Amino acid sequence: MVYGRLRKKLGFERDRLDVRIDMKRALWVCSVLGFAGFILVVEGIGSLSPPGRAAQPLVPLAGSTMRSKGFARDGVYFTTDASSVPEGITLYGSWLGTDASTGSFTSAWYPSTLGSSVMVAGYPTHPNMLLELEVKSINQSIRTVQITVVNPQETWSPVILPLPQDSTSFRIHAADLSRSFEGWLGVSEPFVLSTTPAEPSLGRTGKISLYVAGLLDFVLAIGCALLAWRFGRSNTQDES
């Protein structure tokens, strides 16, 4: 009877040890998969591009240059969402660290092209703000055309330029004469959207989600590795 109990006890201990060994192996597998998933998420984030169709910047007319005073490249409020900006498009803005900054921006002359667009940010409809086109007609006369847009606020928003049918060329004129709260605006160089869609991609929200998923994956991998190491130490003590 004693011998039978001893065999049962030894068999139970052996089964418990086998369970621990299997658990250890499972945790190591989870750890390796967690690290692999983390690496894949990081690689995926690095390969993402802004959403939307590809864009082609317009080429300025020969001898035409841009004039800017108080506008700078990417001169917009630091929380401005640029996830909708097509890749390769240059942005300008009048926010130079404060709403009180002022200035003006006049682009080079561009040939009138069907579907010409710009990205706009900020508050161009506030008092003392200006966003318009100077359009040259076939007879070489120049007139002004207002760019109508709802304030995009802290987001870059695409706007199709209202080019008259008889226009041959145009340039963009923006002015910020406001020192008040929300007294800034941003505008991009003109471009046309390609008829070929860009590769599928995610915007800023999608990238943040991937970053969080990658972080959780990394934490899971670390936790599994620590548990596997602890089980390994426990098994060593049991065997000794």
Domain count for the chain, please give it: 2
pLDDT digits (tens, 9 = 90+) for 90-99: 999 999 999 9
Domain hosting residue 145, numbered range: 55-193
For residue 90, which phi and psi values (nearest 5 degrees)? Answer: -85, 135
Residues ≥6 apart with Cβ < 8 Å to 194: 53, 54, 55, 56
| Helix axis angle, 2-47 to 204-239, nearest 10° | 160
pLDDT of residue 50: 46
Domain check: are 86 and 27 in the same one?
no
- What average pLDDT does the structure give for the chain? 79
Domain check: are 221 and 116 in the same one?
no
pLDDT of residue 143: 95
pLDDT of residue 19: 46
Domain check: are 189 and 207 in the same one?
no
Domain check: are 112 and 137 in the same one?
yes
pLDDT of residue 8: 47
Enter the pTM of the model: 0.62
